[in-house]
Structure formats: C-alpha cells, structure tokens
C-alpha cells in the first residue's frame, strides 16, 4: 500500500466529522473513512506522489467494553467494517482508514490506538489543541478542536500527514 503524501477532505466530510464527534462527546466517537487513492501531478523527478481523497464518512458506534472506558477508548464493530467495505466497493470507493476523537487530550495516537490498528493504515484523530483544557476544565473557555492525520505502519512510529480541505 503506497503511503499517501497528502490527505484531501471535502467540506461536507469535515462538517460530518465535527457533528459526529461532537454528538459522541464526552465519549470517544469513531467512524470509517471512505474514498479514493489518486496520483498527483508529476514532480521534478517525474514522480506523481499519491494523495488520498476522503469522500465519505461512515459513522460507527463505539462498542468498547466496558462502556465506562469509552471516555478514553474506542472500538469499531467488525461487522460495521464489513458493511462499509461492501458498500464502498459497490460505489467505487475503498475504506482508507478510521477516525476517532480524543475529547480530553491532544490528537496523538495512543499505544492502544496503534496496537488496535490494522497497519498500514490512515488514522484521523480529532483532539484538544496542546496546552488547552478540555470542556469542563480550566477557565470555562471551550477548547479548540484539532484534526490530525496519521499514517500507521507496523513497528514504526506514527507519521503525521498533511491534509487540506477540498471542495
């Protein structure tokens, strides 16, 4: 699987991500990411670095057990993953990875996130900006959510990927 050089997200996908994860709070919310892999324009070496275009967000329910741990853990039902794969193939898309939230911490992959992922994979995490307080803590000001894209590979440190919104 070619590592994407960049992730492109549609405005509607970003809106759905925000609403889905806001609705799940204070628990971690989760979803699958559907889209296409594309080649970019050729660079000076004649290479066309791949970018992935996120076109659909497949909402899922956090089924982590015990339920009280859903405040800091997530798990996507494997049946949902199969349904999403089948639907994506029928619509010319593929499952590119997963999305989840860290409602009370920065958007960094935890050791649990990495161990539960089927690497290599794309993982988007929305969390609290470093140095800010999650809702309900500190001075009462709402924390600014930050979305980060990570590339996870077996036995390698997660790698931050650039992303941009694309209509």
Instruction: Classify each residue of 115-133 as buried b or exposed e, where b means 16 or more C-beta atoms within 10 Å of its C-beta.
Output: eebeeebbbbbbbbeeebe
Residue 94 phi, psi (nearest 5): -145, 160
- Look at the chain and report how many structural domains it folds into: 1
pTM: 0.88
User: From CA 127, how far away is CA 130, in angstroms rounded?
Assistant: 9
Q: Cβ distance 123 to 150 under 8 Å? A: yes
Write the CATH number for 149: 3.40.140.10
User: Range of 73's domain?
Assistant: 6-40+47-165
Q: What is the chain's pLDDT, residue by residue, as a tens digit (167 residues)? A: 578 999 999 899 999 999 999 999 999 999 999 999 987 666 677 676 788 999 999 999 999 999 999 999 999 999 999 999 999 999 999 999 999 999 999 999 999 999 888 889 999 999 998 776 665 555 555 667 999 999 999 889 999 999 999 87
Segment (H or E) for 154: none
| DSSP-derived secondary structure for 87-146 | HHHHTT-EEEEEEEEETTS-S---HHHHHHS-SSEEEEEEEEPTTPPPTTSTTSPPPPEE
> Residue 1: inside a domain, yes or no?
no
Element (H, E) at 16: helix 11-24
């Amino acid at each position: 699987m070619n590592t994407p050089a960049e992730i492109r997200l549609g405005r509607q996908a970003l809106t759905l991500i925000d609403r889905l994860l806001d609705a799940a709070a204070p628990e971690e919310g989760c979803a699958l990411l559907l889209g296409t892999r594309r080649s970019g324009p050729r660079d000076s070496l004649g290479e066309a670095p791949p970018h992935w275009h996120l076109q659909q967000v497949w909402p899922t329910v956090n089924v982590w057990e015990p339920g009280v741990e859903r405040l800091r853990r997530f798990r996507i039902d494997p049946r949902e993953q199969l349904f999403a794969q089948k639907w994506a193939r029928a619509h010319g898309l593929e499952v590119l990875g997963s999305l989840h939230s860290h409602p009370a911490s920065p958007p960094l992959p935890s050791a649990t996130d990495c161990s539960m992922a089927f690497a290599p994979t794309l993982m988007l995490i929305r969390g609290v900006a470093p140095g800010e307080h999650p809702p309900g803590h500190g001075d009462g000001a709402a924390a600014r959510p930050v979305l980060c894209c990570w590339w996870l590979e077996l036995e390698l440190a997660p790698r931050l990927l650039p992303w941009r919104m694309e209509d």
